[in-house]
Structure 1
């Protein structure tokens, strides 16, 4: 906009016109100190943070191909896909092997509780519900001066939102799970892998893949792509980006290879399999 005295003069552009760099990576920020990040990395859900630190490339087309070729089964605890006449199972066992998260059964005899109301009140969160990711993000600039213990709790809550429940920024973490961040021992022993798998598989089971332009998963969705790379012979070597000596399979891949746009498959990332009707049930 010009001023009354003439055209306003600005400093020279950092990049020339039409030469500004195109965003090719996610834009991230961090508010936690190194001491907090280190503790989060070694926590029971630390694999989620380690995955975030990788230059990970998600391949929705590859995962969609397997979801669209699911077999119609009644077992709510498993998903089966049939690719080129080869049945592939995705269950709690595969999820645990891929993520390394604790997938033990829930301890129905556990008697445990902790005082949590004061912390929620400090965060302006309803005392009968867990926080949302949006509420947690609002505290990033504020919690810099909080105690290390409280900053760790906020970090753990964020990891639960993003990597275990995989819920939207306005959805609340179940209270019985959220308040475990206030008891380190109770948090460490809880089977978060089972929780994350249940969240993921339930969202898969209720979706339809032929009537919507988009759909949303919950849980640790990245386990699906690594499952494809690990369990389909040759697929990971052809389209994946493997890392050596990374530990659990979830951290052994940087996702799909960062192909140039003109190299990317137009519709799917693997060869077209034989047509498989979705109403087929395994024998």
Structure 2
């Protein structure tokens, strides 16, 4: 007799529900062995991560646009869900994220992370990213390329010069933030557009140690409606997952992608790009024991939090992760059987 159970969890949207499948390990594998893992069970390295993104940019945007029509428009856009993230879930736990990355299975699935936690395989993909962030993850417009390293044509800097200042090619997101916070006479529309660049290139798509505005993102701001309707969740996920799974195998350039990725996880530090908080947010929903160890409640959000900086606490540590993984009260985790069926 099947021991599969179902529970209903609330999603980020008001009144929306998400059905989560709960299953025991023996029910999932069906007498089949799981694929090999990057590291042997209980032989995971314990290092740390560096983040390029900063959630405190959201607090700055909240403060500089407070009480304005522009803030109302921002909250009503696809970015509004970011300001409604619970503060207690925003303290980044490097141990938790590192633990999930080192527990992942070696699969042929593209752009999917499959960690094993407490004996159960779990999937983190575009679907889960969209669910926990609330960002749009639909198909890109025809001809759009995410990883476009081509040098932008000079014509693309025309709007850049109007918005950011003529000749300011190396301006950083930190400098843009100082600009919007310090200029009290800035026109509201320009301030909103600069805040949107801060959110996109400083929070969701931070790919450099010192984040800078992207030329193609700034150019998209020429038409604000076009910017707000873009599939930012899909692009943020692409960058996020690219630093969380082994790279593609390229003969002569990357002959052993799994080995190369494992070496990076053994380093003293590893840089995560994109929006790595999404993996942590997903883990809190998928693994009840983790949120129980976190304590507190979700009443206070980034929008209602009274402060310019996030609380200085470490979030979950290694002890908390191990406790949640071996807690006998935890009946299971998120299971997506589509992978087991070859879909």
**TM-score normalised to structure 2 length:** 0.57
Higher normalized contact order (CA 8 Å, seq sep 6+, divided by chain length): 2
Does structure 1 residue 222 correspond to structure 2 residue 277?
yes
What displacement does 1:171 show? 3.7
Q: 1:143 to 1:117 in 2, by over 3 A?
A: farther
Question: In the alignment, what sits opposite 1:200?
Answer: 240
Q: Distance in 2 between matches of 1:80 and 1:157?
A: 32
Q: Distance in 1 between matches of 2:244 and 2:176?
A: 27
Q: Distance in 2 between matches of 1:77 and 1:266?
A: 26
Query: What CA deviation, in whole Å up to 9, does each residue of 1:7-26 have, x standing for no partner?
Result: xxxxxxxxxxxxxxxxxxx8
Question: In the alignment, what sits opposite 2:93?
Answer: 59
Q: Distance in 1 between matches of 2:170 and 2:130?
A: 26
Question: In the alignment, what sits opposite 1:269?
Answer: 321
> What does 1:1-283 correspond to in 2, within 5 Å?
32-34=64-66, 35=68, 36-51=70-85, 54=87, 56-108=90-142, 117-121=158-162, 123-124=164-165, 132-168=172-208, 170-205=210-245, 207-208=261-262, 209-239=264-294, 241-243=296-298, 265=317, 267-271=319-323
Q: Distance in 1 between matches of 2:156 and 2:275?
A: 29
> Are the aligned partners of 2:87 and 2:300 in contact in 1 as well (CA < 8 Å)?
no
Query: What CA deviation, in whole Å up to 9, does each residue of 1:121-140 have, x standing for no partner?
Result: 5523658x796313413423
Q: Distance in 2 between matches of 1:37 and 1:91?
A: 30
What displacement does 1:172 show? 3.4
- Which shifted more, 172-181 or 71-80? 172-181
Q: 1:149 to 1:160 in 2, by over 3 A?
A: same
> Are the aligned partners of 2:138 and 2:234 in contact in 1 as well (CA < 8 Å)?
yes
> Are the aligned partners of 2:160 and 2:218 in contact in 1 as well (CA < 8 Å)?
no
Q: Distance in 2 between matches of 1:259 and 1:145?
A: 33
Structure number with greater Rg is 1
Give the unaligned 5+ runs of structure 1: 1-25, 252-257, 275-281
Matched length: 237
Give the unaligned 5+ runs of structure 2: 1-55, 145-154, 247-260, 304-310, 327-339
SS of residue in 2 equivalent to 1:90: coil
Query: What CA deviation, in whole Å up to 9, does each residue of 1:222-263 have, x standing for no partner?
Result: 1111111111244323435442698xxx99xxxxxx9999x9
Q: 1:155 to 1:130 in 2, by over 3 A?
A: farther
Q: Distance in 1 between matches of 2:265 and 2:179?
A: 40
> Are the aligned partners of 1:228 and 1:235 in contact in 2 as well (CA < 8 Å)?
yes
Report the aligned-residue RMSD: 3.9
